[in-house]
Amino acid sequence: MVSKLLALIFFCMLGLQFAQAEEAHLDETNPEQEVVEESVKGTSAKCQRCHDFGADHILGPSLAGVYGRKAGSIDYMRYSDSLKNADFVWNEENLRTFLRDTKQAIKLLTGNEHALTRMPPLHLSEAEIDEAIAFLKALR
């Protein structure tokens, strides 16, 4: 009974954290705000399960400013060695490749056939990938 109660409290707090992250990181002065608001309700809500859109890290690194950033370059302790040592930038092409197939993309993007990522396969449609990339571009 106690473990069920603790689990309920944990999931309620996690939901609250996501709601607060959404409110805190949506910039009302941003002209791309509508893209961000719509995406949070759609595909990018999947991202929010493990990633924060601000300065915090959840299970994965924060996605704030990820578009145009060198892979593995922010202060996040759980990057795989493959991403820590990566030499590519998260541009549209690389994000699209990664979102299509995370496990194969990490090998291709790093040039290391043994490269690994903790990011699970996402099984996104091309429309969902387009939406996720638009969201990441608008995220500051």
Per-residue pLDDT of the chain (140 residues; tens, 9 = 90+): 555 544 445 444 444 444 444 444 444 444 444 444 444 456 677 787 888 777 777 778 888 889 999 999 988 778 888 888 999 999 999 999 999 999 999 999 999 999 998 889 989 999 999 999 999 999 87
Mention the CATH class of domain 2-138: mainly alpha
pLDDT of residue 63: 83
Instruction: Give the whole-angstrom CA distance, residue 139 versus residue 86.
Output: 22
pLDDT of residue 35: 45
Give how far the C-alpha of residue 126 lies from the chain's centroid of Cα atoms, to the nearest Å.
17
Q: What is the dihedral of CA 3, 9, 14, 20, to 10 degrees?
A: -170
pLDDT of residue 56: 72
Neighbour count for residue 106 (Cβ, 10 Å): 23
In sequence order, which residues have a C-beta less than 8 Å from that of residue 46 and are 6 or more positions away?
122, 124
Backbone angles phi and psi of 139, in degrees to 5: -75, 125
